[in-house]
Amino acid sequence: MTSSPPKTSIDLIDLERAQQLCRVLPTRTGESQVLPEWGDPLGKGHHLVYFWPKNENEQLGEDGSSTDYNAPYPYTRRMWAGGSFEWPASSGWQPDPAASAPEGIIIGSSIREQTSVDKIEEKGGMVFVHQRKEYSSDGGGGGPGRGRVLVKEIRMHVFRQAVKAGSTSEGVTQPLKPAKTPPTPAPPPSDLSFTYTPSLPLLFRFSALTFNAHRIHYDAAWAREKEGHSASPYGGPVVHGPLSALVGVEVVERWLRCSTKGREMAKNGGMRRFEYRATSPMYVDRRIEILGKLVPGEEEVLRLWTVQDGKVRDGAALTCSAQHGGVLEEDVECWSVFSHASTPVAQVTMRRKFGNKSKTS
C-alpha cells in the first residue's frame, strides 16, 4: 500500500450534510443552535462526513467496513486508533466574521481529497496502518484558490487477529510510553468540561452521515462475539473513534469561544492542530466526561482527559498559533500522555512572543 500512488476524490461540501451533522453532534444540539448556511466556513473536523467510501456491498468486509486500506489476513479486526487534524488556513468559528472573508473549507465549495499510506507497522501482534490525507480547494463553489491545502489529516487504524473462541479483549492500543517528566494529576474542579451519553440513535446517525457500515457501532452481538468486547460488562456497541475525536475538537472550540482565556487565544488565530489517540474503546449508553484543567505557572498548561466508568479512555492534543502585526504572538504546543489510570492524558503549553524577545505568560 505504501508504494501505491495517492488516491484522489472530489466532493461538493453541500449544506445538507453540514446542517445534519450539527443536528447530530451532542455539542451542537439545543434551542440556541445556529445552523450554518451556504458560504459559511465548515466547522473544524466536519469534513469527516464527506468523501464517502465508494465500495459496493459485496466489496465490504465481513464486519461491514471498507476494505480499501485494510491489513492483510489474518488481521481482520479493525479499529480507529488515532490521528490528527491540522488547519494551515483559518477555518471554523471566527471571533469577528466581518473582519475578513471566511477561510478554510467553505460550504458550497468543491474540495479535493488526496489519500496515501505513510507507513504500515507491526507492534505486539497488531498491525497499524497510517493514512495521510490532504484536503485542498478544487477551485469551484466560491472557495479559496485551486490547489490550496486547507486541512491535513492523519488516520491510524489498528488491526488485530480474529477473536478466539471464549477469549475477550477490551484494549485497542498499547498505552504510549510515559513522557520523561509525566504531568502531575490536575486537581478538581476542571476548567474545561463537557458530559454526554452516547446513544444508539447517535451512533446510527453518525454511521449514516459517514456512510460507515462497520457493525461494531450498531450490532451488539457482533461487538461481543466477533470483536471481543465482552470484556466490558456492556459489550458494545462501540462509539466511533472519529466521533470521539470530533466531539473533542468541538469541546476545544467551545472553550475558545466561551472562556476568557479561550477568547483571547481565538482572537489570535485559534486552534491549528488537534492530535488524538484512543487507548481503549468507549461504549454506548455510558456517560462520557471530557475534562481539562488550566494550570497556572511558569507556563500555562491545559490538561485534557476523557473518562467513562471511572477509566481514562483517550486523549487529545492541540496546537494554536497566531500572527499579529508580523510578529508571532502566541504559540501553543501540546503533547499527549496516555494512561489507564484516572490521570490527565493531554496537556497544552502556551507561550507568548513579543517582538524578537520571548517570555512566558
State the virtual CA torsion across 155, 172, 206, 133 in degrees, nearest 10: 0
Structural domain that includes position 289: 7-359
Q: What would the grid cell of residue 138 be?
A: 478544487
Q: What would the grid cell of residue 21 be?
A: 451533522
Work out the angle between the directed axes of helices 241-258 and 200-209 (0-180°, nearest 10). Answer: 100
How many domains in the chain? 1
What integer pLDDT is reported at residue 93 of this predicted model?
44
Rounded-to-integer distance, Cα 318 and Cα 333, Å:
7
Q: Is residue 287 part of a domain?
A: yes
Contacts of 188 by beta carbon, 8 Å cutoff, 6+ apart: none
- Per DSSP, the three-state class of 85 is strand
Query: What mean pLDDT is predicted for residues 235-250?
Result: 91
149: domain CATH number is 3.10.129.10
Q: Is residue 2 part of a domain?
A: no
Which among 93, 124, 115 has a CA at the least distance from the CA of 265?
93
Q: Is residue 96 part of a domain?
A: yes
Residue 166 has pLDDT above 60, yes or no: no
Rounded-to-integer distance, Cα 209 and Cα 17, Å:
7
Q: Is residue 186 part of a domain?
A: yes
H or E element that contains 208: helix 200-209
Query: What mean pLDDT is predicted for residues 146-154?
Result: 92
What integer pLDDT is reported at residue 267 of this predicted model?
73
Query: What mean pLDDT is predicted for residues 186-190?
Result: 56
Q: Is residue 35 part of a domain?
A: yes
Lowest-confidence region among 94-98, 139-143, 172-176, 261-265: 172-176
The pLDDT mean for the chain works out to: 77
Rounded-to-integer distance, Cα 270 and Cα 30, Å:
24
Q: Using 50, 70 and 90 to split pLDDT, how confident is the model at 316?
A: low
pLDDT top residue among 96 and 296: 296
Q: Is residue 1 part of a domain?
A: no
Q: Is residue 208 part of a domain?
A: yes
Q: Is residue 297 part of a domain?
A: yes
